[in-house]
Amino acid sequence: HDQQLFSVQQFETPSLDSTGSDSERTIMNQMKLLVVALLHNLLCQVDAWKIAANRTIAVDQKEKLPEYKEEERVPIRVPGNGYCWDRNHQESQARRFVETTCSGVRILCNRDCHCVAYACQESGPGAVMYTSEGCEMDCGQVDWILNSSLIVQAGHDQLNPAFADGQCWKFVQQDKKDEAKARLEEFNKCLPPLEVAFANGVVGATLDPDACPRDSNGKVKHDDFCGYVAVNGWDCTQLHAVCHNRNMTLMPSCTPKPCPVKAINGAAGTCPVGPDVQNGTACSWQATPTYTCEPEGSQTCLYGNWTDLPICIPRCPVPTVDGASVSPECKGENGAKKWAPSGSNCTWTPLENWTCSHNVTQCDTGNFDSIVQCWPMCLVPSILGTNPPNCTAGSMVAHSTICKWTTIDEDYTCTGVGNNPCTLGSFPDMACLAKCTVPNLAGEAKVTGQGCTFDKKVADSTECEWTEENDFYCQHAGSRTCRDGEFDKTPECERRCPVDTVVGANVKSVSGDTCSYTSSGSRPVAPGTVCQWEANPSHTCNFTEPKTCSHGGFSGSPPACDLKCAAPRIPEASLPAGVSVGDPVESGATLIWTTTDKDNWYCKNVDTPLVCRNGIWAVLPTCYKKCTVPTSELHGGATTNCTKAKVAPDHTGICAWTKKTGPDPGWTCDNMHNTKCTTNDGLFDHTPHCHSNCFVPTYAHTITTCPAIQKHSLSCTWQPKDPEQYTCSTNSITCNNGNFPSQPHCDRRCSVNSGSRVYSQAGQYEGLKNNCPNGVNHGQTCDFFADTLYSCDNIGSRTCDQGEFDNSNPISCTKKCVLPTGSQFEVDPQSSSRCKSGAVRVGESCSWQGKAGYSYCTNKVLTCQANGNFGKNGADATPICYHDCSVPNAGVGISGSTNCHTSTVAHNTACTWQQQSEYSCPSLQTTCNNGNLPAPPTCTQISCAIPTVTGARLDCAALTDGRVPHGASCTWKNVDPYRCASLPSVQCSNTHLSGGHASGCAIPVATTSGAEPGTGPARRLSGYYSGDCMKIDGTMMKTETYDCTLAEFTSLVQSYDVKLQKVFSRLDTAAAATMSSISVDMKKLVSETFSDKLVTMNQRLTCNWLGEGYRGTIEGLCYGGVWGLSVVGAMYVASGSILLFLVILTYAVWKVAVDNITSAGQQVIDADSIVPASKAELD
């Protein structure tokens, strides 16, 4: 909505190609105006949807704007020039400024549904939109937006004439369109000229009646277009003049057409090609050596056309044909190129061992009718292994002759044989080479390739690739090619040697392949490779000398290694002297460990020799921490039989416990059974515990149910003696080793209805209420509040503190009044805070004011009375407000009001209206009564009726309802085709037109439109005709009939001899002008685009591709097809094998199932369990 989606300026002065016809330009202009209208309607419809969803404007009155309907809004021009004004010559309303033309701002304003008017100027960009959308000045003044009828005139400041030619346009409803439009329509009409003459009085453009909408007086409306038609031989710009404020603007400008100087193939001219030459310029053309031209010489430019241009026919270049000689008349001298004239023949003769397609060709308009081609003959070769039965070796055959070679020896492979044609003196390459036998290396190497099978033969140039098996090494493996019976190299294979893993030794390569253990993924080494083993620091090895790979194994005995033992670290045990942790120990050696701290640690397998066996110790020492006998956990409540402070985790580490007996309160013990020292870091399997019991104390205001002595870990509960007077916390407390860790705490409660000093449930103060229960705990709060008809101070929450509520701010209550409410009035903002909050006490006064739209009120100040109501002079009362009135628009003949200048007035306001001097009004005063203000009186204008005169019309600057306003002046004008003898000026005075009427009006006698009497129907200028009886669209002009005498009729008939001669001359000239285009240009176009291309295609089309396609078909069927069938057969064999396996498996499953069923049915039946049955039962 806020973006200008297209530029309106591009549709104001459309730039059209001057070569286009007038009808095309007219249609283009109409299409462009149609596009503008469609885009405008589309954008306004979008805005209508947008405004329908949310259409409000921020004004003081908060009134909604009227609903927008685009089809009801039409722009009308306001009288005067400049910006938009009201009756007081003021413009101070909400507006924004845009840089565009009148057409552009009209579209923008129509798209903005808050825009009611706009001002613009035709002399340049710069316009004003009167709208609240995007407002830039006086944005709070929106009277015009609410009532566009306030815009009554246009004007400008005399000190700032920059907008003196501006126009003011405002949008009105559709039903007011005709009334406003008629005021300016007649005044701004124009009388367009019928012809536009230029240099020497020659007419360059004429009015197009079909493109110029005129009224009965021959005039066009303001802003309407009139189309003109350029006369043949003239170039005109802006062929659609515009009526603007009674003047025709943008009239056509015409000049004689220049002549284009174009390049003529085959002719050289004296004028440079490219720029046009002016009317009357002469140029000369001559034929070039490769063309024949007629006519040659000077030609003159006349009104865009040359008098007669030459027509040139090209000659034919004689080509050089390899293998043939041309006849003497077609040879150039001294090697120069020969150009044969059109229609001549040339003859070619083939040389020795050459053949040609044909001999004679004819030149036709720059090209020979055919192209002679010659080809050399071929010598038939002799090839070993094959023989052509239809051609003799060593003989010469003609071009395109086909000879057939066939292979005669199966041990040879022949390429290129078959049906081979002779092409340009040679046959395709052919050769026969011997096949190769594939050597058999089964089990040692694999062979792949097309047809590569052990002991089979392959064709020459076949590549077979040998790949070593995993355990073999082959020389000359890889890809080998068959060369005339032998492979380039033959592979030879020998088994590789695996390198077995030796634990405790590393292997390295002395020569040959890299030696690494096969178990790690390495490939066996090739024959001749030498490997050597070395012992690791942790092992001792034998037979580690270098060994050589030969026929899959290494020489000598295999290496053997034993692992050493590392001396381990044993916590709390020490190694013998001279031995450190981690030192290697030979297999079979021994070590003795000793305990380092016997008081705190207990060790096994110490002080005895321990043996190393191939890297592993048979037994190692183990040490455990001793257990400390507990004492602090018993608190002196038990005794034990363990006398030492620490015991070992063996049979000596078991302790027994006994509970002590003693005075009150006594002991409580658990886990008193025997405890055993474990190997878990010096801990017993469990620990006994003993704690002292507790004496139960007594507390004030409480009672308890516990005995005098309470055991350890048991709890006691204390309750208040009087629950209505006290509350106690920490009721349950647990005995802990002879003591209770805390004691209960009691607080006094508050009694609301009997124990309070100032508050009670029933209320000690009139108007005071509360929501408290009968008793309130210490620290809790109660809410105290006023009754509905009372106002109290210092109310709110009060906290209970040891039986008493806080009374630092005493509460006081008084009775209050209820504020009256209504849709027309509200409390005055200047009133006291009590009036605003509604807590008004007896004797206090409040003020009221009217709401928006209710300015006049009574009973504005009222006082709160003892009965709880507001009143005045002792009686109950309420404010009364009256609705404001909207000031209506000034009607016709009313210039405004003397005292009602705003959009609304208060109740009981009387508005006085001002009468215009040229109008008569019945009454000039109306009064506002509770929202109703009558409209201004209806006035009638003093004016004069327009008389009717045949052949003349009255031209007035402005009309009112089809009448001449009082004091206005008018002038009589002719109405085409009439001409009047007297056309006086008149003036309206009251109801009478002074000055008289037009007189002597009649239609003058006219000849046939467009013809020249006595000279013929038309005249030719530079190949074109003007003054013709036929319009550009092909229709005849309108003819007029007039009376004549016999002598005049005789003279007219006699003049037709000259006229008919001119018509036939025009026909002959037109035929001659088009003959060249038909016989030369059309024929050349057909040759270039059709016939020449067919000849070229025919000459270049051969059958070489057919042989290649046939060969590919044979190879696909005979080789690819046979191989495919063999693969299909192999798949059938594989499918049969799988099916046989499935049959055997299925039979086995079925056999097992049948046997299971059979064995299950054979049950042993006891003879005693047989029950005899009769034959009938059995049946």
pLDDT band at residue 1173 using 50, 70 and 90 as cut-offs: very low
State the Cα torsion 662-668-674-675 to the nearest 10°: -120
What letter does residue 716 receive in the DSSP assignment?
Answer: E
Higher-pLDDT residue of 1137 and 408 is 1137
Q: Does 237 score more than 60 pLDDT?
A: yes
Contact 597, 682 (CB under 8 A): no
Q: Does 461 score more than 60 pLDDT?
A: yes
Give the number of other Cβ atoms within 10 Å of residue 309's Cβ. 19
* Model pLDDT for residues 321-334, shown as the tens digit of each residue: 888 888 888 887 76
Which pLDDT value is given to residue 9?
Answer: 33
Give the number of other Cβ atoms within 10 Å of residue 175's Cβ. 9
Which pLDDT value is given to residue 753?
Answer: 47
Give the number of other Cβ atoms within 10 Å of residue 288's Cβ. 15
Which pLDDT value is given to residue 1049?
Answer: 85
pLDDT band at residue 1150 using 50, 70 and 90 as cut-offs: very high
Q: How far apart are CA 617 and CA 621, in angstroms?
A: 10
Which pLDDT value is given to residue 165?
Answer: 84
Tokens of 646: 């620490």
Q: Does 117 score more than 90 pLDDT?
A: yes
CA 476 to chain centre: 64
Identify residue 322 by its one-letter amino acid code.
D
pLDDT band at residue 629 using 50, 70 and 90 as cut-offs: confident
Q: Does 416 score more than 70 pLDDT?
A: yes
Contact 839, 793 (CB under 8 A): no
* Model pLDDT for residues 53-88, shown as the tens digit of each residue: 433 333 333 333 334 344 457 888 888 888 899 988
What letter does residue 283 receive in the DSSP assignment?
Answer: E
Q: How far apart are CA 91 and CA 141, in angstroms?
A: 10
**Across 689-704, average pLDDT:** 84
Name 684's bridge partners. 677
Tokens of 948: 């009717």
Give the number of other Cβ atoms within 10 Å of residue 9's Cβ. 12
Contact 1015, 1037 (CB under 8 A): no
Q: How far apart are CA 653 and CA 640, in angstroms?
A: 12
Q: How far apart are CA 1059 and CA 1049, in angstroms?
A: 15
Percent of the chain at pLDDT exceeding 90? 5
* Model pLDDT for residues 1004-1013, shown as the tens digit of each residue: 644 433 333 3
767-781 core/surface letters (b: 16 or more CB in 10 A; e: else): bbbbebeebbebeee
Choose from 129-133, 313-317, 398-402, 413-417 the range with maximum mean pLDDT: 129-133
Choose from 104-113, 412-421, 1164-1173 the range with maximum mean pLDDT: 104-113
pLDDT band at residue 118 using 50, 70 and 90 as cut-offs: very high
* Model pLDDT for residues 758-804, shown as the tens digit of each residue: 443 334 456 677 777 777 888 888 887 777 777 777 777 888 887 77
pLDDT band at residue 1015 using 50, 70 and 90 as cut-offs: very low
Max CA distance (Å), the chain: 177
Contact 772, 803 (CB under 8 A): no
Which residues, including other chains, have CB under 8 Å from residue 366's CB and lie 6 or more apart? 313, 314, 315, 316, 342
Q: How far apart are CA 322 and CA 399, in angstroms?
A: 14
Q: Quick one: which of 330, 296, 332 has its CA closest to 312?
A: 296
* Model pLDDT for residues 950-985, shown as the tens digit of each residue: 888 888 887 777 788 887 889 988 887 788 888 888
Got the DSSP string for 879-924? -EEE--EEPPPP-TTEEEESS--SSEE-TTPEEEEEEPTTEE-S--
Q: Does 404 score more than 80 pLDDT?
A: yes
* Model pLDDT for residues 1062-1114, shown as the tens digit of each residue: 788 777 777 776 776 777 778 778 888 888 788 777 766 667 667 777 777 88
Helix (H) or strand (E) run with residue 177 in it: helix 177-185
Name 974's bridge partners. 952
Helix (H) or strand (E) run with residue 973 in it: strand 969-974
Mean pLDDT of the chain: 78
* Model pLDDT for residues 445-454, shown as the tens digit of each residue: 888 988 898 8
**Across 345-367, average pLDDT:** 87
**Across 628-640, average pLDDT:** 78
**Across 844-853, average pLDDT:** 87
Which pLDDT value is given to residue 1050?
Answer: 87
Contact 660, 637 (CB under 8 A): yes
Q: Does 131 score more than 90 pLDDT?
A: yes
* Model pLDDT for residues 796-844, shown as the tens digit of each residue: 788 888 777 777 777 777 777 878 888 888 888 888 877 877 778 788 8
Question: Cis omega before residue 125 (within 30°)?
Answer: no
Give the number of other Cβ atoms within 10 Å of residue 864's Cβ. 23
Q: Does 585 score more than 90 pLDDT?
A: no
pTM, two decimal places: 0.27
Q: How far apart are CA 985 and CA 997, in angstroms?
A: 9
Tokens of 712: 């350890």
Q: How far apart are CA 679 and CA 106, in angstroms?
A: 105
CA distances from 1115 to 876, 1109, 1118, 1120 (A): 123, 10, 5, 7
Got the DSSP string for 691-709? EE-EEPP--TTEEE---SE
Q: Quick one: which of 812, 816, 861 has its CA closest to 838?
A: 816
Higher-pLDDT residue of 579 and 1035 is 579
Q: How far apart are CA 710 and CA 956, in angstroms?
A: 128
